[in-house]
Amino acid sequence: MAPNPIMIPRKPVPRRSEHHKPRRSSVSEWQEPILGGAVLVLLGAAFPLARKWLLSGAGIESCLIVWGSRTESRVFPSIPLWTVLATINLIYAISSTSWLLNGLFATICWMSIGLTSLFQFPKAAHYARRALRKTLGKHPHFIKDKIALFNLPALEIDTEVDGLMVMRGVTISLSSLTLVVHGIELGLKLADEIELAIYVDEVTVRLFRRIEVGDVYANVKGGKFEMTFSGLDDPVDDAASADSVFLDDTPLLRAATAGSEGFQDRPKLRETLTGVSYIRDSSAKAGFDSVQSFSPDDEIADQQYHDRLTEIRTSSAVYQSRQQVRQKAKNGSGFAVDDEKDMRAAVSAELHGLPSVPHPPSRSVRVTTLQRLSPPYMRRFMHRLPFLLRLLLAPLSYFHPINISSVNAAGSGQWVSQLLQQQVFKEYAETNLQLRKLHRRISHWLADANFCLQLADIYGLGQVPLSTSFDIVAYLKFNDVMAYRTEPQSGTIRQVVRLGGADATFTIPSFLLPHHEHIVPPKPTAEDEEEIEVEIEESTSLPKAVQAERELKRTKKDETEITMSVHASLPASCDQSLLNFIAALVKATKIIELEKEVDEVDTSSQSTDEPATPTSPTNFDNDTISIASNDSATSRLKTALPLNSVKDVASFKLLAKNIRQNLKDGTTSNSIKEFAKDLHQQTKDGMKKAVVGGLVNDRWIAKLVGKTAAMLQKAQGDVGYSGSIPVALGMYRSEGTGEWGTKILP
């Protein structure tokens, strides 16, 4: 075979696509826009239609998009160029047929020209941010495509409840249409001795996509020793809020500032690469002085912005509590945390002792003041066209499903124990030894611990209909439901309940929306009540009669209702300590019920019976002597009467001895009366003990609770509850239609 020829490698010829694009000179960069602008001016001068096209903004926007496509910085890069241009000019062609549509199109188009210029031309965006930072100072901050707001005033809630809401920072991203709220703190005074504190580190609102909420920690605080806003005795100064929008000194701000002093002075835990370090800050305001105003330079301003966000994150109550739990676990004196769910329960226990609003600002604005800020003509316009409100809420609710990482609702066991003492045990535990023992067992399990209900991976969606014939519906889905019992002193965390999930549905009448008083049901009259009463009397079905009775009660109170339906997904697992607590609580409630029933029967019998007449002295004397002198008779009477203790027998013998002594002294009549009274009381007490002991059996209750728990561990399906939340209709009829005018589009 001939040898293979020697192959001489050729120099590879690069493909056209591998060549880099030649860099255009700065002269060509300026020549093309100038040439295009000159062509547009000539077209506008020569043709009236071109002039109209340019004045509407469609021509300039089209040229900017073409230029952005050439420089590879075009807006909407995922959409083809000719599709964007055709859409803009088609909308212009349709809008040009009407002066109203043409004016609306021109307004939107010129605003789009400004946004397009800021997005496509970095120099224009740089000069705009620099000018805005110099002009507006330290209030809004412009960083790249973001607008940041810090030092926002607090929102005072002065409607049905008193409360204070703080948002430590807000970031608006123009390129992604995203709003991020940093460091939300909310304190609500629900009652004189109940307060709700809510902490959320971050909430992200992606416009027309979804709303994402991080871990939500809600702590219910009861009693003066736990509450932040316990001493709000000053009246609300409405005159001050009417004169000025922002208020510097209010009872809520003073209470929040006084409550946050201990938190701001405590050592702050900062997480570093090597572990955890302690840094002490004098105050939150002193830590923010270095970043009050942003630098005009983009890089320095961006660094200051991120430093500010880091300060907000590391000084939040949730972050500090989480680091405190980790530090205690590292030292061996805190909770033994196994996973993220246990960490959330431990953080909830750590948050319970902190103030409800740890970072109160120096100024606030009230909700009622914000409600009065809209001009009268705008309120009249919205009142006459309530359909516009539904037209706005329908897409907003549909395009904004809510995703929540977790909701952790915690409460103190000591407060729950006090509620049980006030509402359940009351004075019954003072006179019943068995109830006192049960109360001690229940209090021991509650008082030394905190309890946390944890709902993980929550999905929510609301639907606002365009037609008032349908109700507003809100859905909630919980993928995981747990309950924890934490003991801070011993550092133990125990999961006492675990469910497979849950879901909830709320149905809200449409007439509860603002400006919808024209469809609120009229105030019920006496004729309406009589019709329902006749319907009850003539009803042949028991369920219908019960429903009609409920409707009658609601009509008399002039109320409507929000329907609530909650379902828990089985199987469910329960801890043994929880089962013991439930068994003790069930037994205590049954004993209290029987005590009430026996007392009611005894009271009624005493009021109806006549006083008994004494028997013959001779016969009674013989009976008395035989009882006193014969031990066998005493034992037979002891067996007949339910005397269940040695103390009762001893007291009975002492009674017999006193009667014998009185017979010798000649006071037979008084002895007979005392003997009859004591005998009746001891008989009643013995019968009560016998009845309670027979019906309330520890073994039977424990067996019942154990069987129920074992059945729930293997059961499949859902178990639920449906109820209603009453809503008074008087306040929804208060808005008169005379001064606002009649409805145009209801």
Crossing angle between the packed helical segments 99-120 and 81-95, to the nearest 10 degrees: 150
Q: 413 with 447: CB under 8 angstroms?
A: yes
Closest CA to 170 of 140, 212, 200, 136: 140
Is pLDDT of 332 > 90?
A: no
pLDDT of residue 336: 78
pLDDT of residue 379: 80
Buried-exposed string 698-736: b where 16+ CB fall within 10 A, e elsewhere: eeebbeebeeebeebeeeeeeeeeeeeeeeebeebeeee
Q: 570 with 719: CB under 8 angstroms?
A: yes
**Measured torsion, CA atoms of residues 664, 667, 669, 671, in degrees rounded to the nearest 10:** -70
Contacting residues for 717 by C-beta, under 8 A, at least 6 apart: 569, 570
Tell me: do 86 and 151 sit in the same domain: no
Express each pLDDT in 578-596 by its tens digit.
888 888 888 888 888 877 7
Express each pLDDT in 605-658 by its tens digit.
656 554 444 443 333 333 333 333 344 434 433 443 444 444 444 555 555 556
Tell me: do 146 and 109 sit in the same domain: no
Query: Under DSSP, is residue 271 helix (H, G, I), strand (E, B) or coil?
Result: strand
| Domain assignment present for 726 | no
What gap in Å lies between CA 218 and CA 88, rounded to an integer? 49
What gap in Å lies between CA 502 and CA 478, rounded to an integer? 5
What gap in Å lies between CA 425 and CA 428, rounded to an integer? 6
Burial class of 219 by CB neighbour count within 10 A (0 to 12, 13 to 18, 19+): buried
pLDDT of residue 715: 84
| Domain assignment present for 240 | yes
Tell me: do 194 and 272 sit in the same domain: yes
| Domain assignment present for 238 | yes
CA 433 vs. chain centroid, Å, equals 41
pLDDT of residue 179: 94
Angle CA 281–282–288, to nearest 5: 75
Q: Which of 61, 92, 120 is the last residue of a domain?
A: 120
Question: Looking at this protein, which amino acid is placed at residue 740?
Answer: W
Express each pLDDT in 167-212 by its tens digit.
999 999 877 889 999 999 999 988 888 899 999 999 999 999 999 9
Tell me: do 94 and 173 sit in the same domain: no
Is pLDDT of 314 > 70?
A: yes
Per the structure, the count of domains in the chain is 2
Tell me: do 116 and 146 sit in the same domain: no
**Across 82-103, average pLDDT:** 89
| Domain assignment present for 498 | no
Closest CA to 164 of 193, 194, 185: 185
Which residues lie across from 568 on neighbouring strands? 502, 719
What gap in Å lies between CA 579 and CA 708, rounded to an integer? 10
What gap in Å lies between CA 97 and CA 215, rounded to an integer? 52
Closest CA to 251 of 264, 273, 234, 226: 234
Its pTM stands at 0.74
Identify the residue with better confidence: 636 or 377. Answer: 377
pLDDT of residue 267: 63
| Domain assignment present for 654 | no
| Domain assignment present for 369 | yes
Q: Which of 318, 341, 373 is the last residue of a domain?
A: 373
What rounded mean pLDDT belongs to the chain? Answer: 77
Which residues lie across from 498 on neighbouring strands? 482, 573
Tell me: do 158 and 197 sit in the same domain: yes
Domain with 150, as residue range(s), is 137-373
Tell me: do 105 and 150 sit in the same domain: no
Identify the residue with better confidence: 243 or 413. Answer: 413
How many alpha carbons lie under 13 Å from residue 479 in its C-beta half-sphere?
Answer: 9
What gap in Å lies between CA 715 and CA 654, rounded to an integer? 59
Signed CA dihedral, 136, 139, 143, 145: sign only: negative
String of DSSP letters for 390-415? HHHHHHHHHS--EEEEEEEEEEEHHH
Closest CA to 135 of 293, 362, 265, 19: 293
Q: 741 with 383: CB under 8 angstroms?
A: yes
647 to each of 435, 651, 682, how far by Cα in Å?
Answer: 19, 6, 12
Dig out the tokens for 672 from the structure.
């007979």
The CA radius of gyration of the chain, in Å to the nearest whole number, is 39
* Own/partner pairs, 423-430, CB within 8 angstroms, 24+ separation: 424/588, 424/589, 424/592, 425/588, 425/592, 428/591, 428/592, 428/595
Is pLDDT of 310 > 80?
A: yes
Express each pLDDT in 486-521 by its tens digit.
988 888 889 999 998 999 999 999 999 988 888 888
| Domain assignment present for 159 | yes
| Domain assignment present for 244 | yes
Task: Tell me phi and psi for residue 33, to 5 degrees.
Answer: -65, -40
Residue found by looking up tokens 């409550």 in the block: 259
Crossing angle between the packed helical segments 317-331 and 298-314, to the nearest 10 degrees: 60
Dig out the tokens for 51 from the structure.
């002039």
Tell me: do 267 and 145 sit in the same domain: yes
Q: Which of 373, 390, 415 is the last residue of a domain?
A: 373
What gap in Å lies between CA 746 and CA 740, rounded to an integer? 13
Residue length, the chain? Answer: 746
How would you classify the pairing of strands 194-206 and 140-143? unpaired
**Across 513-533, average pLDDT:** 88
Closest CA to 567 of 451, 717, 681, 449: 717
Q: 90 falls in which pLDDT band (50, 70, 90)? A: very high
Tell me: do 278 and 305 sit in the same domain: yes
| Residue ranges in 332-411 assigned as alpha helix (H) | 340-351, 367-371, 376-384, 386-398
Tell me: do 349 and 285 sit in the same domain: yes
- Identify whether 14 is preceded by a cis peptide bond (ω within 30 of 0): no
Contacting residues for 137 by C-beta, under 8 A, at least 6 apart: 293
Query: Under DSSP, is residue 24 helix (H, G, I), strand (E, B) or coil?
Result: coil
Tell me: do 204 and 93 sit in the same domain: no
Tell me: do 201 and 110 sit in the same domain: no
What gap in Å lies between CA 226 and CA 257, rounded to an integer? 16
Dig out the tokens for 108 from the structure.
């939107």
Is pLDDT of 476 > 90?
A: yes
Express each pLDDT in 244-284 by its tens digit.
677 777 888 888 887 777 676 666 665 543 334 443 443 43
Q: 574 with 705: CB under 8 angstroms?
A: no
